[in-house]
């Protein structure tokens, strides 16, 4: 049956991605959204949209909407209900096509323990593991605690010593139950110097299964991928064939239909590989496979769900060029990659160089702690890996977006690093390679861009003047001090002092000549001491975003006069991010040692421990469990 109307039971960039391919096939698209997502792009891109009463996990309400909208099929995207076998079954019982593998395959592969048993029977190598913590020593430390259900890095903990195992299991269980509704975990041998390599598979209902090569996804933080690419710099033709055939063998055991991914861990030294899991859905990193094969995976999923045959064999699949994807996260790499919230005051992707942007936000989007911190995926293609990396880094630098902290500058640091360009991309990359987490500009360059911002502000003031608008900026008939603009970048206050000249130019306090060639409400072209700056500008309240040749600088416009600050609680330990208080492990009067866990916070479905900075006692506890706290809120007071 041909699919004419499709419901996407997801949100954000993946909903937009699916709509794009479905529209290209002439398929009408139905979106669902919550109150938080009412203004997001995918809702407008869909042909119809229905509001949910609570969450994207409410399968009953989603199915009611599907019946009301009279859709032919449901595409689950990734996350949420995409690997929920019960939901897939419910969809099929309503005579609605499920765009994905069978519920049986989802159930078997959704449980990592069952998946490993099936892999073993298919003679696919697996890592030593156990579900019994008492047998941890038989595996040997370091050990990886893993959730039996779900993925995305949730419910995973690396344990180096036996004494830390109990707390790690407890924390992983809690995170797994919150993320997947299943608290089961197991223990697996951890390989520190390894690579995470996965094979994309496609299967139809007629028993045809092919692989589309590999993706390397080794660069991760908190076991969540940051950079992905295809092909892998370490995989040769022989290894690709071995891993591809292992993936096909496992998929054949499952009678697999639709798109899926078989994930492997590869030892950096020996190139020995072990099965990790099967993701029975579209992967976040699927675009790099599309770029190097020319195959649209969403279209293939829709074709297969409609009952069509693949129509090609393994020998028909060609690989060309290199593709790299980075994930843009709302997080602070300089603060242990903790998630942040705020408003994206500008979001203007570049069209030079031309790269692919899979996004779910726009200028003005409010980023909350309700969902995963991923904002967008940016994908480049080049004739070779170096070209693809340079192109992607330049696209990130040339784009104008910001207003809140993201990992954009850190992504550029990765792509331009010698280690990355040399292909030295093992899973310990982030811990091993010390990279800048902030924009790569000198203090002098930042100061000059502060002057650019100040010149734009004076132009804005003249443009908005209610009286004497035609009089040049700063004009007076007496000898008064220079005009001054105070800007804050991170913790560094920058003062820009200038006065106007008779010819309309300006001169700074240190006698720099400043000439404005062009000015608008979102742009300035200015020359400072014979250096030309052409910058896009965005402003929101007291935040000023100035585009530079290496990305964007966010300044806070300070008032002309200092305002008294709120008093900081002496000895107070503050929240490093906005989030929910999951557990308080101390009480008033508790004795603590440096490094003890005091409070556990959860934000964007991930847990973070607040540790004691020194020995002492708890003087006061200012929070309660399940309370939502803001970034910087005082949690406990130490004595």
Smallest Cα–Cα separation from 622: which of 607, 609, 606, 638?
Answer: 638
Confirm if 155 and 98 have CB atoms less than 8 A apart.
no
3-state secondary structure of 397: helix
Burial (0-12, 13-18, 19+ Cβ within 10 Å), 181: exposed
How far is 448 from 465, CA to CA, in rounded Å? 26
Burial (0-12, 13-18, 19+ Cβ within 10 Å), 297: buried
Confirm if 99 and 73 have CB atoms less than 8 A apart.
yes
Phi, psi of 303 (to 5 degrees): -65, -45
How far is 540 from 537, CA to CA, in rounded Å? 10
Size of the chain in residues: 639
Confirm if 87 and 100 have CB atoms less than 8 A apart.
no
3-state secondary structure of 427: coil
How far is 277 from 274, CA to CA, in rounded Å? 10
How far is 199 from 213, CA to CA, in rounded Å? 6
Smallest Cα–Cα separation from 404: which of 505, 264, 541?
Answer: 541
Q: Which residues are catalytic?
A: 281
How far is 108 from 83, CA to CA, in rounded Å? 10
How far is 240 from 217, CA to CA, in rounded Å? 15
- Helix H or strand E encompassing 7: strand 5-8
How far is 420 from 155, CA to CA, in rounded Å? 28
For 370, other C-beta atoms within 10 Å of its C-beta total 13
């Amino acid at each position: 049956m041909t699919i004419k109307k499709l419901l996407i039971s997801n949100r954000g960039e993946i909903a937009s991605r699916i709509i794009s391919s479905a529209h290209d096939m002439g398929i009408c698209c139905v979106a669902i959204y919550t109150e938080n997502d009412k203004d997001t792009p995918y809702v407008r891109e869909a042909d119809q949209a229905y509001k949910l009463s609570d969450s994207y996990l409410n399968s009953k309400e989603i199915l009611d909407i599907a019946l009301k909208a009279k859709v032919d099929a449901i595409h689950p995207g990734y996350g949420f209900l995409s690997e929920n076998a019960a939901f897939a079954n419910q969809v099929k019982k309503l005579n609605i096509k499920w765009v994905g593998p069978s519920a049986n395959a989802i159930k078997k592969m959704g449980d990592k323990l069952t998946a490993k048993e099936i892999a073993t029977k298919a003679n696919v190598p697996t890592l030593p593991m156990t579900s019994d913590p008492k047998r941890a020593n038989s595996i040997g430390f370091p050990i990886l605690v893993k959730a039996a259900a779900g993925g995305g890095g949730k419910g995973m903990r690396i344990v180096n010593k036996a004494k830390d195992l109990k707390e790690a299991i407890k924390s992983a269980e809690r995170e797994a139950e919150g993320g997947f509704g299943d608290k089961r975990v197991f223990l697996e041998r951890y390989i520190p110097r390894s690579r995470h390599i996965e094979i994309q598979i496609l299967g139809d209902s007629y028993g045809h299964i092919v692989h589309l090569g590999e993706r390397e996804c080794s660069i991760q933080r908190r076991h969540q991928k940051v950079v992905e690419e295809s092909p892998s710099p370490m995989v040769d033709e022989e290894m690709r064939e071995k891993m591809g055939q292992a993936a096909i063998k496992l998929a054949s055991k499952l009678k697999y239909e639709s798109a899926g991914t078989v994930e492997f861990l590869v030892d950096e030294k020996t190139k020995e590989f072990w099965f990790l899991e099967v993701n029975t859905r579209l992967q976040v990193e699927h675009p790099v496979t599309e770029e190097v094969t020319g195959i649209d995976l969403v279209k293939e999923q829709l074709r297969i769900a409609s009952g069509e045959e693949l129509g090609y064999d393994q020998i028909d699949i060609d690989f060309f060029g290199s593709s790299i994807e980075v994930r843009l996260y709302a997080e602070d790499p300089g603060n242990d990659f903790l998630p942040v919230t705020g408003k994206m005051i500008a979001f203007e992707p570049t069209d030079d160089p031309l790269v692919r942007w899979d996004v779910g936000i726009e200028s003005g989007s409010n980023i909350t702690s309700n969902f995963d911190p991923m904002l967008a995926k940016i994908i480049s293609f080049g004739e070779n890996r170096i070209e693809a990396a340079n192109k992607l880094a330049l696209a990130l630098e040339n784009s104008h977006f910001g207003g809140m902290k993201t990992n954009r500058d850190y992504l550029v640091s990765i792509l331009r690093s010698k280690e990355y360009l040399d292909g030295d991309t093992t899973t310990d990359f982030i811990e091993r390679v010390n990279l800048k987490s902030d924009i790569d500009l000198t203090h002098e360059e930042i100061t000059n861009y502060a002057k650019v911002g100040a010149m734009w502000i004076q132009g804005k003031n003249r443009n908005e003047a209610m009286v004497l608008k035609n009089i040049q900026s700063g004009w007076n008939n007496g000898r008064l001090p220079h005009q001054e603009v105070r800007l804050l970048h991170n913790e560094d206050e920058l003062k820009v002092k200038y006065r106007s000249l008779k010819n309309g130019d300006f001169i700074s306090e240190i006698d720099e000549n400043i000439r404005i060639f062009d000015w608008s409400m979102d742009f300035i072209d200015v020359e400072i001491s014979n250096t030309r700056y052409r910058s896009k500008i965005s402003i929101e309240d007291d935040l000023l975003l100035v585009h530079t040749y290496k990305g964007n600088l966010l300044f806070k416009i300070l008032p002309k006069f200092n305002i008294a600050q709120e008093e900081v609680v002496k000895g107070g330990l503050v929240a490093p991010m906005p989030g929910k208080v999951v557990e308080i492990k101390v009480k008033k009067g508790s004795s603590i040692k440096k490094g003890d866990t005091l409070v556990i916070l959860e934000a964007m479905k991930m847990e973070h421990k607040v540790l004691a900075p020194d020995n002492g006692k708890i003087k006061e506890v200012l929070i309660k469990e399940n309370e939502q706290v803001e970034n910087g809120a005082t949690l406990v007071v130490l004595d």
